[in-house]
């Protein structure tokens, strides 16, 4: 096969080698064209077809999708700090690119070590009542608008 084709499919055998199911990728674009139907809809389809774990390709970049709660906990809590430091390479531009969800490698580790104490179980328990209070207030205000027959645009409420 031509070198260009080999390059465009160079990583596409990874999940098959590991015995991880997933949709068949196309050269260069991987499985990204399936997102045209909507990311959530596509993820739901894949979950129904492949179960709690499957492999995708964002172009040539392999992406492992996990939906099983215990495995997610293991990845996000136990192995997260040393192994899974980087995320999908897209997101908000500008200053938000320096946030914990977009940072990579040593910068990500530095930010996470600063944030980790904030999200201890004790601190989360303290925050719960505040979050619940403001969540209830949000639901009340939206419900009042709906009862008046108004359309509620969540983009106007939450920004972005």
With 0.75 as the threshold, say if the pTM is over it.
Answer: no
> What is d(CA 135, CA 128) in angstroms, rounded to the nearest whole number?
10
Question: Residue 39 has what pLDDT?
Answer: 86
Domain boundaries, the chain: 1-69, 85-119, 120-160
Q: Is the pLDDT of residue 93 over 70?
A: no
Q: How many CA atoms lie within 13 A of 129 on its CB side?
A: 4
Whether residue 120 is predicted with pLDDT greater than 90 in this model: the reply is no
pLDDT bin (cut points 50, 70, 90) of residue 37 is confident
How many helices and strands (H and E) does the chain possess?
A: 7, 2
If one compares 35 and 91, the residue with the highest pLDDT of the two is 35
In this prediction, residues 125-135 reach a mean pLDDT of 92
């Amino acid at each position: 096969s031509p070198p260009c084709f080999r390059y465009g499919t160079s990583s596409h055998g990874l999940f098959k080698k590991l015995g991880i199911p997933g949709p068949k990728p196309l050269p260069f674009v991987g499985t990204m064209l399936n997102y045209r139907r909507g990311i959530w809809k596509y993820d739901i389809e894949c979950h129904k077809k492949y179960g709690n774990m499957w492999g995708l390709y964002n172009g040539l970049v392999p992406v492992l999708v996990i939906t099983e709660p215990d495995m997610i906990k293991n990845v996000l809590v136990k192995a997260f700090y040393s192994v899974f430091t980087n995320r999908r390479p897209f997101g908000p531009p500008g200053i938000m690119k320096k946030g914990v969800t977009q940072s990579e490698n040593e910068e990500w580790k530095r930010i996470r070590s600063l944030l980790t104490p904030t999200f201890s179980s004790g601190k989360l328990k303290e925050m719960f009542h505040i979050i619940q209070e403001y969540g209830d207030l949000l639901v009340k205000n939206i419900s009042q608008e709906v009862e008046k027959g108004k359309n509620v645009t969540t983009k106007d409420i939450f920004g972005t």
